[in-house]
Chain A
């Protein structure tokens, strides 16, 4: 293996990328990125579910406020939102801590990343889920109501399973955006994959090696997610007649 790499002239790159070299840093960065992406996606889903229900069934004021939330978030660059939310979040935490008699609080990078990206994801998830809920035939929800199901049970047993097949493609896109948006946190100084890469690259001057390696890692995450989401979509569509023709 080593001989082959030497033969291809990649011996130096392999040494730089080995786990005892900078490769370990890159993988740690990847772990951080994935942690933030998972958290942000989850938080985004929760916000999105409430947002979608608010937009569809909420009162006039709720609907208008949610419209402002989704419009503003979707018109302002993520980088600007990340900075605003980051400062707002740390200000609020420090105010609370001062009020309780404590000093300034050191903010956990992963938690801050999840909060800022989660709020951004929430706006997009609201739109995706709203569309999906609207695509569920009204009759199904009315049937559930006529059986006397409470609202929450209707949501859990009827609306969410029925809307899944409509929501999954949009949610897959959102997940990809979440993984790629974690790179933006590098600008605020979180040690995720992109920042680790840049630090490794600038201290070894091997820019191409590290940026290509990081690109490869991101691409692997994207491609694997694609496979997973294809399976999830198949699962969400279980029982639906296939449009591709041929009886199954």
Chain B
């Protein structure tokens, strides 16, 4: 964080005044009368964004751990599929993956009567399960690579020491290997989580009503172009800031 003394340099004070001027100009010259009408919808959208982000990063990370392990120390019949998965996810655009799952699977499922009559069908008819699935797989693909490096980066002596204490394999993994690996890649994970946040607006293209979709709707309803987009950019910057702060806390603690 920048200290107050660093901020109080003459050129920065001038820049802050200019910035304040721009903000005041924005507040008065641009149109904000749509905000109260759309505020409840925007809050709902914000909630959807955060919820999708948290669930997909969490599930994606759970998936990334075995993917990383398989690539780092697994036998060939596990490491080759894991590497292929990561290459495919990282080599194709996320938008294409989302559309493949939503339109592809979405057009396939109704053809099977047993899926239509199953209890999952009310969920499969909606868009958000596909959105969460696509984002989870994408996060797992990128993180699988990161975790591969993290697992091979843990000093071998530590694992040998644990073994010589007679720890069972799973305990070694849980107590020594995983915590060390995660600690080493926390800064990368923070960055990747912000990238994941920046990927969430893509799910608006399959009719999930998150914060980006709300701003598109305001634009379509009122023909106001810049204001919703500016506000949206601010919202994303704020969430990114919160994520960055949270990871900094984690790194210190």
Interface residues of A (CB under 8 A from B): 60-61, 64-65, 72, 75-81, 83-84, 87, 176, 180-184, 186-187, 194, 197-198, 201-202, 205, 207-208, 211-212, 214-215, 218-219, 222-223
Flag if B237 contacts A76 (CB, 8 Å). yes
Chosen A-B contacts, 24 in total, with CB atoms closer than 8 Å, are: A60-B9, A61-B15, A64-B11, A65-B15, A77-B197, A77-B198, A79-B202, A84-B230, A87-B225, A181-B93, A183-B95, A184-B93, A186-B95, A187-B205, A198-B99, A202-B103, A207-B107, A208-B100, A208-B104, A208-B108, A211-B100, A215-B88, A215-B100, A218-B96
Interface of B is mostly: helix
Flag if B198 contacts A76 (CB, 8 Å). yes
Given contacts A194-B95, A215-B100, 15 further A-B contacts (CB under 8 A): A61-B15, A76-B237, A78-B198, A79-B202, A80-B201, A80-B233, A84-B230, A176-B91, A183-B94, A187-B95, A194-B93, A211-B96, A211-B100, A222-B90, A223-B91
Flag if B233 contacts A84 (CB, 8 Å). yes
Q: B236 near A: Cβ within 8 Å? A: yes
Question: Residues of A contacting B198 with CB < 8 Å?
Answer: 76-78
In the complex, A65 Cα to B14 Cα: how many Å?
12
Known: A78-B198, A79-B201, A208-B100. A180 touches B93 (CB 8 A): yes
Q: C-beta contact mask, B199-212 vs A, less than 8 Å → 1, else 0?
A: 11110010000001
Min Cβ gap A194→B in Å is 5
Flag if A79 contacts B212 (CB, 8 Å). yes
Interface residues of B (CB under 8 A from A): 9, 11-12, 15, 87-88, 90-97, 99-100, 103-104, 107-108, 194, 197-202, 205, 212, 225-226, 229-230, 232-233, 236-237, 240-241
Closest Cβ neighbor of A212 among chain B residues: B100
Closest Cβ neighbor of A182 among chain B residues: B93
Question: Residues of B contacting A194 with CB < 8 Å?
Answer: 93, 95-96, 99
In the complex, A84 Cα to B209 Cα: how many Å?
20
Partner of A84, one of B95, B226, B237: B226
Partner of A211, one of B12, B99, B199: B99
Closest Cβ neighbor of A76 among chain B residues: B233
Closest Cβ neighbor of A88 among chain B residues: B226
In the complex, A175 Cα to B240 Cα: how many Å?
24
